[in-house]
Chains A and B, each alone.
Chain A
Amino acid sequence: MTNDGLGPDPRHRAAILAALTRGIARDVDRLPLPARLCNAFVDVFGGAGAAITLGYHQPDRLTLCATDPTVARLDGLQEVLGEGPGWDAFTSRRVVTADLRHPTPWEHFSSTARQELGELWVCAAPMRPDDRALGVVMVYDESPEAIGGDPVLAQFLADAVGAALLGHDALLTDDVGPWVVRQQVHQAVGMVVAQLGISPVDAMAVIRAHAYSQDTDVEAIAALVLDRALDFSDAGPTTKDPA
């Protein structure tokens, strides 16, 4: 379902922003802003967990926060498969929901997620602090009935979260946790570029395809490449016995 109509009414908007603000103010000294934004999003919207991913397209994709392993897997799976509600939310700039109890437009994503994580309900809302999408906030729960799942609220919250992130200078400091993990993926892409003499976009596709075939995420494959345990420059990919 998509929404392009009016947001919540003024009374609710202020109350929602105030609730979001109180959530952001909590744990200031304990958690970085993206994690507080994720928690605040779940506080206000509901759901079991949430993730914030910046720039859904390669190569500048960066998952800033995932509140639990399930939502981290939902995010990683969509990256590997190149499909899912997050992708569609980012490209259409609209809220996209998926009920894994029923058939969805994303066959691979749905069947894998259903098998690994169960029949979840997933809602992906694009962060559009200006007229383009900055990234996606994804939230999940057991079923839409559990949280109401109002797409108007999801969109309003996602826009506010995106705007809050834009003011966050720390996004560009080198010691941000998520970036430390992600930079290994970029380094691995560079190694595959040199191994195969291909473009970074193609190198990323090689890593994604390998992650898919190994049933894992791109971070795991990147770690193998960086450890030089996996080299694509021979006839086929060779994985040295990690044991």
Chain B
Amino acid sequence: MNPKPTSQVLAEATAAMVDRHDVTDLLTRLLRDGSSSLGVDAMGLIVQAPDDTLELLVSTSHRVAELEALQVGQDEGPCVECYRSASPVVALGASVIQLRWPVSGEAIVRAGFGAVHAFPLVWHGRALGALNIFTQSDAALDESQREMAQAFTDMSTIVILQTQSIDQRQITESLREALLGRVVIEQAKGALAHLQGVDTATAYELLVTEAVQRATSVTQVAQDVLTRAQRQRTGS
């Protein structure tokens, strides 16, 4: 079995922003810039492949590429744990790292690293992968470094998502629907406020009450109110 590597899938995928670009090249350069912005020694990025396994996508050095591949192969390590839990992972000091991940931790320490941080690539609550940050020092990243690391993680997420145009379109669509639904409710509050001579807060309560009574959504009631308001002219 030899599934197409994710990097190739991503590079082939078409999307507005990066269809004409080499995604892995872009991400590699982005991680290099990120490493120097943060003042850390190395970064590696693993992502969920289409068949739900984890795969190394890019790294800033060959040494880190091996460490990431080992984590994926062993199904153990900071990046794997971060992806599974969808929350950040921190391990400081050689003994902590070795104790926590017997195989990959040992390799991380042997490669000369004293601390690892991992940040999840999260998109609407779902983890798509994780960004691993390696430092020779065993110190924790400070607040501003963590914020910067999070921003680079988010930007990596965005670049990767650009290659998944269908998901993306659905999200645009649902965002648009949610925004439009909200607009209709506000308009109905205004219409009711005028028709009933109440303030907009009270108008909203009326909408909610009617939705409960009719066992329907507030958006539906709002739509009905607007339709009624257009038929009956009540001014003056």
Query: Which positions in A face B, CB cutoff 8 Å?
Result: 6-7, 10-11, 13-15, 17-18, 20-22, 24-25, 28, 54-55, 59-60, 62, 128-132, 134, 156, 159-160, 163-164, 166-167, 169, 171-172, 179, 183, 186-200, 225-226, 231-234
Do A197 and B231 form a contact, CB below 8 Å, given A60-B183, A130-B169? yes
Residue-wise interface mask of B (147-171) relative to A, using a CB-CB cutoff of 8 A (1 in contact, 0 not): 1101110110111011001001101
| A199 CA / B228 CA spacing, docked (Å) | 11
Chain B residue contacts of A183, Cβ below 8 A: 182, 186
The answer to whether A189 touches B190 (Cβ under 8 A) is: yes
Greatest chain B CB density within 10 A among A7, A179, A195 is at A195
In whole angstroms, what is the CA distance A172 to B234 when docked? 33
5 sampled A-B residue pairs with Cβ under 8 A: A10-B21, A18-B34, A21-B34, A129-B162, A233-B236
Rounded to whole Å, the gap between the CB of B26 and the closest CB of chain A is: 6
| Given pairs A7-B21, A10-B21, A194-B235, 7 additional interface contacts (CB within 8 A) | A17-B30, A21-B37, A25-B147, A28-B147, A163-B162, A164-B155, A231-B235
- In the bound complex, how far is the Cα of B158 from the Cα of A21, in angstroms? 11
Chain A residue contacts of B191, Cβ below 8 A:
190-191, 193-194
A13 x B190 contact (CB < 8 A): no
List B contacts of A18 (CB < 8 A).
29-30, 33-34, 37, 152
B200 contacts the other chain (CB 8 A): yes
- Across the interface, A22 reaches (CB within 8 A) one of B124, B151, B165, namely B151
Q: Decide if the interface of chain B is mainly helix, strand, loop or mixed.
A: helix
Q: Are the C-beta atoms of B33 and A15 separated by less than 8 Å?
A: yes
Stretch at the interface among B76-84, B98-106, B173-181: B173-181
B21 engages A15 (CB within 8 Å)? no
A188–B188 Cα distance when bound, in Å, is 10
Would you call B69 an interface residue if the criterion is a C-beta within 8 Å of the partner chain's C-beta atoms? no
Contact of B172 among A129, A164, A231 (CB under 8 A): A129
Say which residue of A134, A190, A199, A200 sits within 8 Å of B194 (CB atoms).
A190
Contacts of A25 in B (CB 8 A): 144, 147-148, 150-152
Once the chains are docked, how many angstroms separate the CA of A192 from the CA of B20? Answer: 48
